[in-house]
Amino acid sequence: MRELANTSTERNDLIITPRLLGIIWKSFEWHGLFMNNPDTPLLAHFLAYYERPVQNPVFSWYNKAKQLTYRYDLSINQVEVTPSVQPELRWESDANKYLWKILPPEWLEANGNWKPIWFKAAERWEIAPILFILEQGFDVNTTDELGRTALYYVVGPFGGRLDLVELLVEAGADLSLPNNTVDILLERSQEGLLGRIEIENAALITSYLQSL
């Protein structure tokens, strides 16, 4: 595991919302880091700790019965248990693998350069990075080198993904942009339809776009 860093959580001006902090907290629960500990801190304490400007991004708690200290460092999104004993060492490893899935190192190290991550997520229909980048204040109408927005990529081909279409529209997707008009999006949604599920998904997107 990477060494816990004593650096500010604002080093990249990241916005870590209560939504994401809640998912991080749940990962501690799922991986046994609160098991058999009557002194487990409350989620409210965790949220409050990171809501205020803190110089130290490390939130820690103690299991008196097991004499174990747990330290979570938001700046690298990793948790450490000391001393290193089983089964907590295995739980720590599993938790850290999961933490890097929900808040990967490339997001922590993006330094505001969200565009490559944004369009890769749009092309793969990945909702987690799109939601996170929107929370950073990223412009939903940003275009790539072809003049296309993320909305163009999530309506199709192969049936698209309706929940992402709805998310981007609700986030302010501009349907008057040249490659973002409803007619163009409807045409895109009909590309690559091979099976029943894809056809049904495309029909849902078509109905939604026509209702706008």
Which CATH number belongs to the domain containing residue 177 in this structure?
A: 1.25.40.20
Percent of the chain, pLDDT > 90? 83
Confidence class for position 55, pLDDT limits 50, 70, 90: confident
pLDDT digits (tens, 9 = 90+) for 144-171: 999 999 999 999 999 999 999 999 999 9
Single-letter amino acid, residue 141 = N
> Is the model's pLDDT at 126 over the cut of 90?
yes
Indicate the length of the chain as a whole number: 212
**Full residue range of the structural domain in which residue 190 is found:** 115-210
Residue 48 lies in a domain: yes
In contact, 156 and 190? CB cutoff 8 Å: yes
Mean pLDDT of the chain: 91
**Average pLDDT value for residue range 22-27:** 96
Confidence class for position 2, pLDDT limits 50, 70, 90: very low
Shared domain check, 120 and 74 = no
Domain's final residue, options 58, 81, 107: 107
> Is the model's pLDDT at 181 over the cut of 90?
yes
> Is the model's pLDDT at 108 over the cut of 80?
yes
Shared domain check, 203 and 160 = yes
Shared domain check, 99 and 124 = no
Residue 8 lies in a domain: no
Q: Which residues contact 62 (CB under 8 A, 6 or more apart)?
A: 39, 68, 69, 70
DSSP string, 62-80: EETTTTEEEEEETTTTEEE
Shared domain check, 159 and 202 = yes
In contact, 141 and 115? CB cutoff 8 Å: no
Shared domain check, 128 and 206 = yes
**Average pLDDT value for residue range 63-67:** 92
* CA dihedral sign, ordered 142, 8, 104, 45: negative
In contact, 171 and 134? CB cutoff 8 Å: yes
Domain's final residue, options 56, 83, 107: 107
Please report the pLDDT score of residue 11 as a whole number: 41
Residue 4 lies in a domain: no
**Tokens found for residue 176:** 């008057």
How many structural domains comprise the chain?
2
Shared domain check, 187 and 130 = yes
Residue 119 lies in a domain: yes
Bigger pLDDT: 2 vs 173: 173
Shared domain check, 101 and 139 = no
**Average pLDDT value for residue range 177-204:** 94
Shared domain check, 119 and 203 = yes
Give, for 20, the enclosing helix (H) or strand (E). Answer: helix 18-30
> Is the model's pLDDT at 121 over the cut of 60?
yes
Shared domain check, 92 and 28 = yes
Residue 7 lies in a domain: no
Domain's final residue, options 88, 107, 126: 107
